Structure 1
C-alpha cells in the first residue's frame, strides 16, 4: 500500500446536514494517498453515525469521538493522530476542489522553505452571501503570493483556515493555543513572527460555506475586538518589540480600537497622522496630529497604519513607499 501523503484534520460538531457533501469531496480527490481524522467534538445530532458509516465504506476515514470542549481542543486532539508528511485542514461544512490536495502537496514540494500553503476560496451559497462577505472573499483572493500574505497579515487572517495545508512537523511544533481570540489567526501570526513562511496557491480550491450559524459568526472569539487583541499582542512581540512609541496613521474607529489594545502593553503613539482638516494640529491622548508630509522630517522608526478599506490603504502604502519607508520594516498596515 502506498504511504499516506497527507492527513486531513477535520473537527466536527453537529454537522449532519453538510457532512455528506464534504466527505464526497474528499472521495473525489485526484490525490488518493490521504487519510482523514474526523474529530467529533461531542455532537448531539447524527454526525457520529454519518462518520462511522463513511469509515466502514472508506478505511481512510477515521472517527475520533470526544466530549464537547470546543474547536481548539478538537484540533489539538486530532493533530496528535497526524503522522503523514503533510496535514490539510478541513471543515465539515466545506467542499474541496478535486485537485486541492494534489496542487497543495506539489506547491509544498516545489517550495521547501514553506511551512504551510493556502489557496483561494469560493464562498457559498452565493445567494446568501452579504456584501461584506463578498468583499472579504475578494480580499482573501487578492492574496496572490507569500509577499502579499505577509503584507496583509496584520489586517486580518490573510488565508482561510480550512484552506491551509501544513508541513505536519511545523503544525505539531506550534499547535493551537487558547487565548479567547481566533485560533487560526493566532497560529498564522505566531508562525510568521517566528520566521516561518506561508505560501499561496492562487486558485479557488475550497468552497467555503458562509452561513449565519458558522462558528466565525456566532462565537465571541471571532468578533472584531478579539481580532484586534490578537494582532496587538503579536505586534508587541514582533514589530513593536523594541519600540514603546510609534506613529499611528488613522484615528477613526479602527485606529482608536488598535490604539487602546496596544496601550494595554504600554505602547502609545508619539504622533497621529490624519488628513481630516479639523483634527490636524490637535493633540489626541498626548499625541500631536500631523499631516502625512510631516513624516519626511520626523522619520519615525515605526509607523502603524490603521485605516479601514483596501483602497485607502493602497494609497497610504504608495505615499509611504514614495517617502522611502518600507513595509514590514518601517511600517505595517494593521486595520
Structure 2
C-alpha cells in the first residue's frame, strides 16, 4: 500500500503542467500514488496527463467536466489510498526531496497533523512582488502551538500546495468546504478541532506567481478577500457578539471597504464608528477618518486591521494601548 497520495487538480494548465508532473515523478521518495484530476480543461492538459500516465503506473487519471477546485479536492481525497495526502498545484514545482523530508518529519513528530513548507517564489512578475509574496508565505510557525494567531493575521502564511497532511484528519473534518479560501477554512477548523499545524523551515516548493493563478482569478472584485474575511469572522466570533457591536477599521482604502461590506453583512446590527489612517483625513464611506494617535479616545468594541503596508504598525499600536490580538483585533488583509 502506498503511504502517500499526491493529489493535483488540473484546469487549463498545459503551459506549466509538464514541469509540475515531472517534479512529482522525480521525487527521491518513491512510495506514492499520484492522482491527477483533469477538471474539464479545454486546452491540451488531458493529453499531457495521459502521456505521463502511460509512462508511470503510479499516476491515476480522473477526467470529467468542470466542477471546481473544492469538488475536485474532495473527490481525489475519497479516491486516495495513502495514509498521507499531499497537495500539489499544476503550476508549481517540488524540489526532489520534498516528500522524503515531509514524511520523515511526520514519522519523528507523531503529534503533527498538517505540515507545510517554506517556498521559493518565481514566475512572470517583478522581483519586488516575488520578494513581497515570499515574505508573506514564509512566516515561521512555532512547534507545539496552534499558530492560530499567525494564520488569521497573516492569511497567506501557509502555502496550500506545500501541504502534507494525514488523511484521517481530512475524514474527521469532512474534507474541504465550498469557499474560495478553502485552505484558510480548513486550517481554522483543524485548529478548532485541536489538531496541530506546523511548517518546515525549508523551501521545498517553487511557488509560481502569475496573472492566471487561482488567487488572482478568485480575487477579482475582491471576492476572494471578502470570502476570507467571512471565514475569519466565523472563526473568531462564532456568533457570540452583542447586537450593538461597534467597530473601527484601520485602513481607509480597498481593504477597508471590503472589510466594512463583509462585517456589515455578517453582523447586520453592527456599527462602523470610523476608519483609522495615517495618511488620510476627512471621511471614507461616509465615516470619519481618525489618526492613529486618537485610537485611545474612540469608543469601540473591536478593531479590524485592513491595511497591508501599515499592518505591523497598527498591530504594534493596538498592543501598546493594551489590546490583544484576536480578543480585540485581527487583520483582515
Q: Is the structural similarity TM-score above 0.5? A: yes
- 1:274 maps to which residue? 276
- Whether the 8 Å CA contact 1:247–1:273 is kept in 2: the answer is no
Q: Quote how far apart the aligned CAs of 1:20 are.
A: 2.5
User: Quick check: 1:100 aligned with 2:64?
Assistant: no
* SS of residue in 2 equivalent to 1:329: coil
- Distance (whole Å) between structure 1 residues aligned to residue 295 and residue 47 of structure 2: 65
- Whether the 8 Å CA contact 1:95–1:207 is kept in 2: the answer is yes
Tell me whether 288-297 or 15-24 shows the greater mean CA deviation: 288-297
| Distance change in 2, residues 1:124/1:58 (3 Å) | same
Q: Quote how far apart the aligned CAs of 1:30 are.
A: 2.0
- 1:209 maps to which residue? 208
- 1:259 maps to which residue? 260
| Distance change in 2, residues 1:288/1:15 (3 Å) | closer
| Distance change in 2, residues 1:209/1:7 (3 Å) | same
How many residues of Structure 1 are paired with residues of Structure 2 in the alignment? 325
Q: TM-score, normalised by structure 2?
A: 0.83
Counterparts of residues 101-250 of structure 1 (less than 5 Å): 101-125=99-123, 128-129=125-126, 131-145=128-142, 150-172=149-171, 173-179=173-179, 181-217=180-216, 219=217, 221-223=218-220, 225-240=222-237, 241-244=239-242, 245-250=245-250
- Distance (whole Å) between structure 1 residues aligned to residue 81 and residue 232 of structure 2: 33
Tell me whether 77-86 or 317-326 shows the greater mean CA deviation: 317-326
What is the root-mean-square deviation in Å for CA atoms of aligned residues?
Answer: 3.1
**CA deviation string 1:163-206 (max 9, x = no partner):** 11121122233322334x33333333443455443211121111
Counterparts of residues 6-85 of structure 1 (less than 5 Å): 6-85=4-83
**CA deviation string 1:91-120 (max 9, x = no partner):** 122210112112222333444443312112
Tell me whether 38-47 or 264-273 shows the greater mean CA deviation: 264-273
- Distance (whole Å) between structure 1 residues aligned to residue 298 and residue 43 of structure 2: 64
Tell me whether 94-103 or 322-331 shows the greater mean CA deviation: 322-331
| Distance change in 2, residues 1:326/1:114 (3 Å) | farther
Q: Quote how far apart the aligned CAs of 1:279 are.
A: 4.5
Q: TM-score, normalised by structure 1?
A: 0.82
- Distance (whole Å) between structure 2 residues aligned to residue 113 and residue 301 of structure 1: 37
Q: Which runs of 5+ in 2 are unaligned?
A: none
**CA deviation string 1:200-229 (max 9, x = no partner):** 112111112223333333x3x333622332
| Distance change in 2, residues 1:24/1:149 (3 Å) | farther
- Whether the 8 Å CA contact 2:188–2:235 is kept in 1: the answer is no
- Whether the 8 Å CA contact 1:249–1:307 is kept in 2: the answer is no
- Whether the 8 Å CA contact 1:118–1:164 is kept in 2: the answer is yes
